Amino acid sequence: MAGHLAGRNIAVTGGGNGIGRATALLCAAEGANVVVADYGVTLDGRDPSSDVADGVVAEIRAAGGTAIAVAGDVGDMVVGQRIIDTAVENWGSIDGVVCVAGIVRERMLFNMGEDEFDDVVRVHLRGHFSLYRAASAVMRKQETGGSLVGFTSGAFVASTAQANYSAAKGGVVSLTRSAAFALRRYGINANCIAPVAMTRMADNVPFEMEAGGPEAIAPLAVYLLSDAARHITAQIYTCTGRRISVWNQPVEIRDMVAADGVSFTVDEIVRDLPDTIGHEEMPMFADLERRMKEMEERKASDAAAEPADGAGSQA
Ligand SMILES: NC(=O)c1ccc[n+]([C@@H]2O[C@H](COP(=O)([O-])OP(=O)(O)OC[C@H]3O[C@@H](n4cnc5c(N)ncnc54)[C@H](O)[C@@H]3O)[C@@H](O)[C@H]2O)c1
């Protein structure tokens, strides 16, 4: 089969729904053999089922492609290994991994339970580690190397009611950057996509999003897996479908040096820091204020549009 991924062997976690499903379908349409890995859980990670992974495999096969389902929890190292082994044992190599699987458990930080934190970090962060680890052990011995594609979120910068998710997604960024940094010499590239797409995960977002369908994210994932992007590594790309943007690389931007060349006293920091290096405003504070204002205005206009008690019966 011709295409950008002709003859490649790719594993897609979370491949049963949303962005993962769209990515698995496009990888297959672009000529890849695909391991569709999905635990078939609810948005918050309950009620596992093998149906969704099997369903996507059936769709790929019906379209003439090649795919195998693995239904398991990507937060489990054994499952990560099994996903990679499935590709290697059936098709001889693993050329790309796309880690899309994820769950959410929304709660303000001061109310968040230990399980709500651990489960979200486990599925997202360990769910990347388990795949990256198993895949890179094979890829480093392959002449053609391979590609790792992680899924982070714009929320990695901060989130009001999902500190667990934000921390996990920040971890995914650092893990992926570390993979890129350590594995370039083996011909392995590693990048992250921060998607915005209308899926069940986006249903509860309380503000308007610039977003298309999940299939609008898949072309960027395929690009990052393809030969055309072999030189691209350690990048974060936001993709809303109609718009793709690249994030900057975090670097120190100003410094100050102790007079004695060794260390500062507290007094020296109090005196010098504000006017020398200062601090950097968090742009998200302004966004948050704008969104809160919009929500309040919407609430006020909804309340004004609603008929007062008894008013409806006058007509
Ligand atoms: N939709 C968005 O706007 C958006 C925004 C930012 C980030 N993301 C990220 O993109 C990815 C895909 O999101 P989506 O909107 O397609 O979500 P989705 O809920 O539609 O799909 C997630 C899939 O992951 C699977 N999954 C969950 N836990 C798993 C586990 N432990 N093991 C294996 N599979 C598991 C689910 O069964 C489901 O099929 C997620 O990592 C999400 O955090 C999405």
**Does the domain made of 9-246 have the CATH classification 3.30.420.40?**
no
Which atom of ligand 1 is nearest to 155's Cα? 6
Q: In what side-by-side order are the strands of the sheet with 9-13?
A: 66-70, 33-37, 9-13, 96-99, 146-151, 188-195, 236-239, 244-246
Which atom of ligand 1 is nearest to 17's Cα? 39
**171 CA from centroid of ligand 1 (Å):** 16
Per-residue pLDDT of the chain (315 residues; tens, 9 = 90+): 579 999 999 999 999 999 999 999 999 999 999 999 999 999 999 999 999 999 999 999 999 999 999 999 999 999 999 999 999 999 999 999 999 999 999 999 999 999 999 999 999 999 999 999 999 999 999 999 999 999 999 999 999 999 999 999 999 999 999 999 999 999 999 999 999 999 998 887 767 778 899 999 999 999 999 999 999 999 999 999 999 999 999 999 999 999 999 999 999 999 999 999 999 999 989 888 888 888 888 888 888 887 655 443 332
Which atom of ligand 1 is nearest to 214's Cα? 16
Short-list 18, 71, 79, 76, CA closest to 40: 71
Q: Which of 250-258's residues contact partners 24+ apart within 8 Å by CB, and which partners?
A: 253/280, 254/278
40 lines ligand 1 (CB under 6 A): yes
Which atom of ligand 1 is nearest to 205's Cα? 3
**129 CA from centroid of ligand 1 (Å):** 16
Nearest CA, atom 37, ligand 1: 40
The pLDDT assigned to 103 comes to 98
**196 CA from centroid of ligand 1 (Å):** 12
| 23, 41, 73, 169: residue to mutate for ligand 1 pocket, most atoms within 8 A of CB | 41
- Catalytic option among 39, 132, 165, 223: 165
Q: Which single residue is written with the structure tokens 């001889």?
A: 92
155, 172 Cβ separation under 8 angstroms: no
116 lines ligand 1 (CB under 6 A): no
The pLDDT assigned to 309 comes to 52
This prediction's pTM: 0.94
247, 238 Cβ separation under 8 angstroms: yes
Residue 165 designated active-site: yes
Handedness of CA 116, 117, 123, 124 (dihedral sign): positive
168 lines ligand 1 (CB under 6 A): no
Q: Within the chain, which residue ranges are assigned CATH 3.40.50.720?
A: 9-246
Distance CA 71, CA 53 (A): 6
Question: For residue 97, how far is the Cα from the chain centroid?
Answer: 13
